[in-house]
Structure 1
Amino acid sequence: MSLDDIDRRILRVLQRNGRVSNVELAKEVGLSPSPCLRRVRLLEEAGVIDRYVALLDPAKVGAGLTVFARVWFKTQDAEITVQFGEAIRRFPEVIECYLTTGECDAILRIVTADLHSYWRFQADYLTRIPSVLNVKTDVPMETLKHSFELPVR
C-alpha cells in the first residue's frame, strides 16, 4: 500500500491518540468524516494499522523495573533458535525479544516489580531454558526517551 500525505497525517494522529473520535480525526487531518473513516478502514485492512492498545503505567501494575538481558545460545542452529523462541513466548515478563547479530544472540526487554523479582525470574526461568548458555543483564539508570510512535514521514 502506498501512503499519501493524508494517510500519514491520520497515522500520526492515531499514534498519539488511538481513541480519537472519527469526527475529531477528520478535523485534524482536513477531511470530512466519511472519507476519513474510509481511509482508516483501508489502513486497517492493509495491515498498516496492526491493532489498538491501551498503554499502562508499569509502576502502577507492578512492573516498575525494566532490564535488558543479553543472551548467548549454546549453539547457533535453527533448532536452538526455535526452542528459545518457544520458551520466551511463554514468559509475560519478556515484553520484547530480538535475535541479533554481533556479540550476543538475543536481546530481551524484561519488566518485573523490582530487582529481586528479576533475579528470581532469571534464576528460575531464563537461565533454565535449555538453549541458553549465558545471560548478562543491563539495568537502566534513567529513561531519557520512551515512545511508541513510529516516524511516519
Structure 2
Amino acid sequence: MALELDRFDRAILRVLAADGRVSATELARRIGLTKSPTQARMKRLEAAGVITGYGARLDPIRMGLAHVAYVEVKLSDTRETALQAFNRAVLAVPEVEECHMIASRFDYLLKVRTADIQDYRRVLGEKLSTLPFVASTSTHVAMESVKEARG
C-alpha cells in the first residue's frame, strides 16, 4: 500500500535523492521546516519503506565498467518454480545491474555492465546462458547513456 505523501515528504525525498549526505539541519532549511519535524518525517519515510537506504553514487566508467548491454532473456519454462529459480540465480550475477520480468515476446530484460565487449561475451557465455531455464538471449549494446536513474 502506498504511503500518503505531502509536499514536505516529496521535498525531503527530492533533496535526499540528489544529496543523501545532507545534514538534517540543512535538509530542514531547504524544505522549510524545523529540524525536529524534518527528522520525524524522515524516520516515518524510512519505517514505511519509502526510503530504503542511503548510498554513494559510483561512476562506472571510472571503475572500468563502460560497456552496457541490455539482454532479452527467453525462458524454456515460465511456471512459478522456474521463474523463482531464475530470479534467485540472476541475483548472484554481479554484472547484472537490473533485472525486470517483462510482458512481451521474451520474459526478462537485464541491464548488464562490463569492462568491454570481450568481458560481456564471457559473462554471456559463462554466466547468463547458464542461468536456470534460459532458452535464448538477444543482446542490445548501448552506444551512449543519455539519462540514467539517480534515485
Match of 1:120 in 2: 122
Structure 1 residue 147 displacement after superposition: 2.6
Kept in 1: contact 2:46–2:52 (CA 8 A): yes
Q: How many residues align?
A: 149
Match of 1:59 among 42, 58, 61: 61
Structure 1 residue 62 displacement after superposition: 2.5
The CA distance in 2 between the partners of 1:15 and 1:131, in whole Å, is 37
Structure 1 residue 105 displacement after superposition: 0.5
Q: Which deviates more, 113-122 or 125-134? A: 125-134
Does 2:26 align with 1:5?
A: no
Structure 1, unpaired ranges of 5+: none
| Residue-by-residue CA offset, 1:67-100 (whole Å, 9 max, x unaligned) | 1000000122112111111211111111111111
Kept in 1: contact 2:100–2:109 (CA 8 A): yes
The CA distance in 2 between the partners of 1:147 and 1:96, in whole Å, is 11
Structure 1 residue 117 displacement after superposition: 0.2
| Residue-by-residue CA offset, 1:8-47 (whole Å, 9 max, x unaligned) | 1111111111101111100000011111111111111111
Give TM-score scaled by structure 2 length: 0.94
Match of 2:74 in 1: 72
Give TM-score scaled by structure 1 length: 0.93
The CA distance in 2 between the partners of 1:59 and 1:121, in whole Å, is 18
Match of 1:34 among 33, 36, 44: 36
Three-state SS of the structure 2 residue aligned to 1:82 is: helix
Structure 1 residue 115 displacement after superposition: 0.7
Match of 2:111 in 1: 109
The CA distance in 1 between the partners of 2:46 and 2:87, in whole Å, is 28
Structure 2, unpaired ranges of 5+: none
RMSD (Å), alpha carbons: 1.1
The CA distance in 1 between the partners of 2:84 and 2:11, in whole Å, is 39
The CA distance in 2 between the partners of 1:130 and 1:43, in whole Å, is 37
The CA distance in 2 between the partners of 1:142 and 1:64, in whole Å, is 10
Structure 1 residue 6 displacement after superposition: 0.8
In percent, how many aligned pairs have the same letter?
38
Structure 1 residue 103 displacement after superposition: 1.2
Three-state SS of the structure 2 residue aligned to 1:60 is: coil
The CA distance in 2 between the partners of 1:38 and 1:110, in whole Å, is 38
Match of 2:91 in 1: 89
The CA distance in 1 between the partners of 2:132 and 2:49, in whole Å, is 35
Structure 1 residue 106 displacement after superposition: 0.4
